[in-house]
Structure 1
Amino acid sequence: MDDRPVILLVVGEHADVVEQEFRARYDRDYRIELAAGLTAGLDRARELVAEGAQIAMIAAEHVLADGTAIELLHNVPAVVATARRVALVAWDDFADALDDLRAAALRRDMDTFVLIPRGPRDEEFHTALIELLSEWGWSVGRPLVTVTDVVAEPGDRGAAAVRDLLERLGFPHRALTPDDDEAQEMAEAAGPEAELPLVRTFTGRVVSAATPATVTEAIYGGFDTIPEGVIADVAIVGGGPAGLAAAVYAASEGLATVMLERDAIGGQAGSSSMIRNYLGFPRGISGMRLAQRSRIQAGRFGARFFTGRPAIRIEPGPPDEPEHQHVHVTGAQLCARTVVLATGVKYRRLGVPGVDDLVGAGVYYGAATSMARELQDRDVYVVGGGNSAGQAAVHLAKFAGAVTILVRRASLAETMSDYLVREIDATPTIQVRTRTVVADGGGDGRLQWLRLEDLDTGEHSKTAADGLFCLLGAEPDCSWLPDGLALDERGFVLTGRDVPRDAWVDGQPPASLETTVPGVFAVGDVRAGSMKRVASASGEGASVLPLVHAHLARLRAREFGA
């Protein structure tokens, strides 16, 4: 049996060219199937699903004998929701079809449209296809080559947290049960006292009773241990988009740059299944891919990353180093001339005991893209009205039987980007319930039901629920910062003219992104007044560099003057 994922080509008059182009590049790893026309294409897709085949992509010529690619691809999600959808447009048809194709893309009737190649080595054409196939392979097909194994009983909460970490780190992994042969080998390697879950990293080390923290240490502890005596020009605390942008620009400009990240590089954005409004990625990019690429980019300029190292304290240097800041982590410290706070925010808890007791067993804080595959054909709820909630709902809808978004406000449009609102409206399996909150929930060992409250009428209704993803509100974690660093009433870091006037020096406020502690800056979501978007966070991370340079110049001038 041929178990390769299928690329289904729905062809018209350019059938020979389309088939040749796809077979030349993808025939080794994918099973190329052809169908002539809209009706035949949908029928073949249904047959493939019935056979149990995985359909990775459906690519259709725009002009078909009995319709258009737009009509076909609009109907594909009802047959197979996870397949990537591409319209193939002939050059002669492009001008006349462009307006319709753009409108269809806005309605999310397709993932993208591309021009059929007119000659060999059309790399732009294949780049578009490969990006879509790569995202499909990661989120649906699962990588065939893995670097990490996780052994646990089905439903193990600790294992779910570890798999979510690995997903955000971009580490392909396998989930094994204790009965699998390779799992038993791992148990023997871990020793007689081994406890589930077990994790074997790419180094061969087996971690017993694994947690996200111990797995991170096992993965990175061997080669990113903080050395003594490190003096950085810039110490960045937090590895989300703001921190990564600061790292790229600082390192590229020759500054000695280090980053501390307590969890997975990428922050909350790293769990986003698809960011479609980030500059330079017309077909979108997952948060994990964006984080991976940014880390590699910063690393190539010389930035150093210390992952799984939460900062616990910032103190001024001793009398002989008055211009330095000491950033403390457990068992070590970094000395830095400047510090950039990019710690982001964490999702606010629901505060419903019956629900919060089931975290990791059907209840998840954050997008938890790794859990989506386990909710095939289930009833799933998403709490939140921001972009992260919208992205999570759209991703979950590719797997779940039904997705319901619960939001306090009267409309998603008040807090969510328009492109996501349109995509949600165009997804038939997503329902939006406004002015609704979770009042209670429970189940036997895992989530099975929710009680919802209508905020306008006060009425309660009980509903079956297999999954609940909470992406509501944002709370900064600034309790570890020094007392002299000013925060607003909600705990966000104040910068520039927003700091209290009694903290201004000689009647002048700090620089625009500088805190009340000279040489300590704040960027991204942790900063009071920030926009809370990936692009704006990245922009602030880049914008802080001139201020860092100015502060370093003042330090050099003082040293020279002394």
Structure 2
Amino acid sequence: MTSVDAVRAPAIVLVSGDVADELREQFWRYSREYELHVAGSCEEALQLTESILEGGSTVALFVSDSRLPDDDVINALQQWRALVPTARRLIAPPYERFLVDGPALRPGLAEGKYDAYLLMPRGVRDEEFHQAVSELLSDWGSTAADPEVFAASIVAEGHDALVWAIRDYLDRMGFPNRVCSPASPEGQEILARAGGTPSLPVVSALDREPVSASSVRDVAIALYGVPDKVNVPDIVDLAVVGAGPAGLAAAVYGSSEGLSTVVIEAEAIGGQAGSSSMIRNYLGFPRGISGMRLAQRARSQALRFGTRFFTGHDVVALVPGRPHTLQTTDGRVLARAVVVASGVRYNRLRVEPLEALVGLGVYYGTAMSTAREMSGSDAFVVGGGNSAGQAAVHLARHSRSVTILIRRPSLAETMSRYLIGEIDNNPRITVEPLTHVVDGGGDGRLEWLTTERIDTGERTTRPAAGLYLLIGASPHCSWLPPEVALDEFGFVLTGRDVPPETWIGGLPPASLATTVPGVFAVGDVRAGSTKRVATAAGEGASVVSSVHTWLS
């Protein structure tokens, strides 16, 4: 049973020994854009999958009954995963087996052996079930499949550091994109529209005129038509610096409660969290949500309530006063209250040969846009936090192997248990404790790495196509005035942590207030914060009550 489309579509493989007809009936609505294939056993599904791959297509989703006639379902899912690591995996038993089989199968869900456990629909229009299926297919489409519809095209000779930075920005903003050779028909058409002899890369975004991009900021202007100056003629109630989870939450709650709100973001909406391939422990998303999707939904929510966004603009100074003045690279904003949510920046590795290859196989952050390029290659992730774990799990869908390098003896001190479980159960991922990177290189891009054991000094050189660096972070608040107290590491002090000599009337400021009245700090930039998306969003939401108190 195949799609009616002329071009062969990705497949959905349905596997059951006795309810195959019911599964096929429920998934018929997907047959317009996916090939539907039905198998009666694990072995038949394996043969079917191999045939699909040999035919030049792939599998987007495996859907299995909780019981198979020839194998344990978890073991079957692992075999299918080995054939198609990018495919999503769903167990959908009928009603009579759903509750009985659930307790034994759910531990595998927590360990990342499959993606969802859902009751097979008992009738028509079970939209709760199909919403979950659509989420799985959407996740597959955004992280595994090559886009079929492009919002932006980049004309370039190759994938250099600037092209990578542009693609990373576009991915984090939710814009499907591609790179075209200037000699290709698509590339020639875009260059002709640009006129003259534009320097590469040239970016064509949406219906905007193509532009030569010398920086990511040029692309931001092409996408959003950002004016030459940040133009906010009035004094706003609230200015938020940074559009990560904390800043977005402050914008949503501030503007929804009637505060005139402006958000200024130097890079992409979402901050570091926006580059996470999948956040599985965020409240309300049982199957997880990508950082990009979470950020874009929050942005849309804030826009609905009237928030104004300025992206691609650095805040270079805060001048305290009544009102406070935020100086940006392209103008100023006057605000009665300021929320500092500028987050952190990944620390540098400081291995010079590798610094020269940033964007050419070496990446700071998860760099989701490069994962497909790791197919059949060896990737390395440096870092032991949740972001590093999420990057490793995502890369394992594409790379031949993923090695996590950490200085600590184990991941237990720094990573959530659910991610450790996924890593332990993924045969493509290994963890090397007490190890750091000391050298690396290649001819024009990364080809090899040298690592060193911290305890023994033993060095090992090995092939490497990708190095992803998530090695701690430093606060991004050099633009703050000396009146805002910082701790010894440069994080913003708030509440009872501020120096007692700055207290007013012998009382400390509110929990998220700084030493400057009317200036607040939330999220990762704040001293003592918990580096979690949910915590940052919670701080961003709760700071609005303190803003109201200040304004009153």
Instruction: Out of 199-208 and 377-386, give the one that drifted further.
Output: 199-208
The aligned counterpart of 1:488 is 487
Q: 1:536 aligned to 2:535?
A: yes
The aligned counterpart of 1:290 is 294
The aligned counterpart of 2:462 is 463
Secondary structure of the residue that 1:437 maps to in structure 2? strand
Deviations 1:331-384 (A, max 9, x none): 311111100000110100001001111000000000000000111011110000
How far did 1:67 drift? 2.9
Per the normalisation by structure 2, the TM-score is: 0.97
Residues 119 and 198 of structure 1: CA distance in aligned 2, closer, same or farther (over 3 Å): same
Secondary structure of the residue that 2:517 maps to in structure 1? coil
The aligned counterpart of 1:65 is 69
Secondary structure of the residue that 2:27 maps to in structure 1? helix
Q: 1:17 aligned to 2:22?
A: yes
Distance in 1 (CA, whole Å) between partners of 2:262 and 2:79 is: 49
Secondary structure of the residue that 2:39 maps to in structure 1? strand
Quick one: which amino acid aligns to residue 302 of structure 2? A
Quick one: which amino acid aligns to residue 394 of structure 1? V
The answer to whether the Cα contact below 8 Å between 1:224 and 1:307 also exists between their aligned partners in 2 is no
Distance in 2 (CA, whole Å) between partners of 1:290 and 1:14 is: 36
Distance in 1 (CA, whole Å) between partners of 2:244 and 2:134 is: 26
Q: 1:167 aligned to 2:166?
A: no
The aligned counterpart of 1:557 is none
Distance in 1 (CA, whole Å) between partners of 2:390 and 2:354 is: 22
Instruction: Out of 205-214 and 75-84, give the one that drifted further.
Output: 205-214
Residues 292 and 228 of structure 1: CA distance in aligned 2, closer, same or farther (over 3 Å): closer
Per the normalisation by structure 1, the TM-score is: 0.95
The aligned counterpart of 1:391 is 390
Secondary structure of the residue that 1:338 maps to in structure 2? strand
Deviations 1:249-299 (A, max 9, x none): 111111111100000000000000000000000000000000010001111
Quick one: which amino acid aligns to residue 453 of structure 2? D
Q: 1:36 aligned to 2:35?
A: no
Quick one: which amino acid aligns to residue 60 of structure 1? S
Match of 2:94 among 87, 90, 95: 90
1:334-483 residue pairs with structure 2 within 5 A? Answer: 334-483=333-482
Instruction: Out of 216-225 and 458-467, give the one that drifted further.
Output: 216-225
Q: 1:121 aligned to 2:120?
A: no
Quick one: which amino acid aligns to residue 389 of structure 2? G
The answer to whether the Cα contact below 8 Å between 2:74 and 2:113 also exists between their aligned partners in 1 is yes
Q: Could you tell me the percent identity over the aligned residues?
A: 52
Quick one: which amino acid aligns to residue 310 of structure 2? F
Quick one: which amino acid aligns to residue 333 of structure 2? L
The answer to whether the Cα contact below 8 Å between 1:408 and 1:435 also exists between their aligned partners in 2 is yes
1:216-295 residue pairs with structure 2 within 5 A? Answer: 216-222=220-226, 226-295=230-299
The answer to whether the Cα contact below 8 Å between 1:48 and 1:55 also exists between their aligned partners in 2 is yes
The answer to whether the Cα contact below 8 Å between 1:70 and 1:109 also exists between their aligned partners in 2 is yes
Secondary structure of the residue that 2:23 maps to in structure 1? helix
Unaligned runs of 5+ in 1: 318-322, 554-562
Q: 1:4 aligned to 2:13?
A: no
How far did 1:158 drift? 1.2
The aligned counterpart of 2:30 is 26
Q: 1:135 aligned to 2:139?
A: yes
Q: 1:177 aligned to 2:181?
A: yes
Distance in 1 (CA, whole Å) between partners of 2:469 and 2:226 is: 34
How far did 1:34 drift? 1.1
Deviations 1:82-106 (A, max 9, x none): 0000001111011211111211101
Match of 1:148 among 144, 147, 152: 152
Residues 223 and 290 of structure 1: CA distance in aligned 2, closer, same or farther (over 3 Å): farther
The aligned counterpart of 2:3 is none
The answer to whether the Cα contact below 8 Å between 1:70 and 1:87 also exists between their aligned partners in 2 is no
Distance in 1 (CA, whole Å) between partners of 2:431 and 2:228 is: 45
How far did 1:14 drift? 1.4
Distance in 2 (CA, whole Å) between partners of 1:392 and 1:168 is: 14
How far did 1:224 drift? 9.9
Secondary structure of the residue that 1:194 maps to in structure 2? coil
Deviations 1:34-70 (A, max 9, x none): 1111111122112222222121111111122223432
The answer to whether the Cα contact below 8 Å between 1:198 and 1:210 also exists between their aligned partners in 2 is no
RMSD: 1.3
The aligned counterpart of 2:84 is 80
The answer to whether the Cα contact below 8 Å between 1:59 and 1:85 also exists between their aligned partners in 2 is yes
Instruction: Out of 40-49 and 297-306, give the one that drifted further.
Output: 40-49
Q: 1:502 aligned to 2:501?
A: yes
Quick one: which amino acid aligns to residue 3 of structure 1? R
Instruction: Out of 101-110 and 389-398, give the one that drifted further.
Output: 101-110
Distance in 2 (CA, whole Å) between partners of 1:91 and 1:493 is: 54
Distance in 2 (CA, whole Å) between partners of 1:459 and 1:33 is: 51
Quick one: which amino acid aligns to residue 304 of structure 2? R
The answer to whether the Cα contact below 8 Å between 2:52 and 2:59 also exists between their aligned partners in 1 is yes
Unaligned runs of 5+ in 2: 1-5
Q: 1:313 aligned to 2:312?
A: no
The answer to whether the Cα contact below 8 Å between 2:213 and 2:219 also exists between their aligned partners in 1 is no
Deviations 1:507-551 (A, max 9, x none): 111111000010000000000000011011011111101111110
Residues 224 and 6 of structure 1: CA distance in aligned 2, closer, same or farther (over 3 Å): farther
Secondary structure of the residue that 1:67 maps to in structure 2? coil
How far did 1:399 drift? 0.2
Quick one: which amino acid aligns to residue 155 of structure 1? H
How far did 1:437 drift? 0.3
Quick one: which amino acid aligns to residue 515 of structure 1? T
Quick one: which amino acid aligns to residue 32 of structure 2? R
Quick one: which amino acid aligns to residue 440 of structure 2? G
Distance in 1 (CA, whole Å) between partners of 2:512 and 2:229 is: 30
Q: 1:46 aligned to 2:50?
A: yes
Quick one: which amino acid aligns to residue 516 of structure 2? V
Quick one: which amino acid aligns to residue 271 of structure 2? G
Deviations 1:366-405 (A, max 9, x none): 0000000111011110000000000000000000001000
Quick one: which amino acid aligns to residue 540 of structure 2? G
The answer to whether the Cα contact below 8 Å between 1:486 and 1:516 also exists between their aligned partners in 2 is yes
Secondary structure of the residue that 1:423 maps to in structure 2? helix
Quick one: which amino acid aligns to residue 220 of structure 1? Y
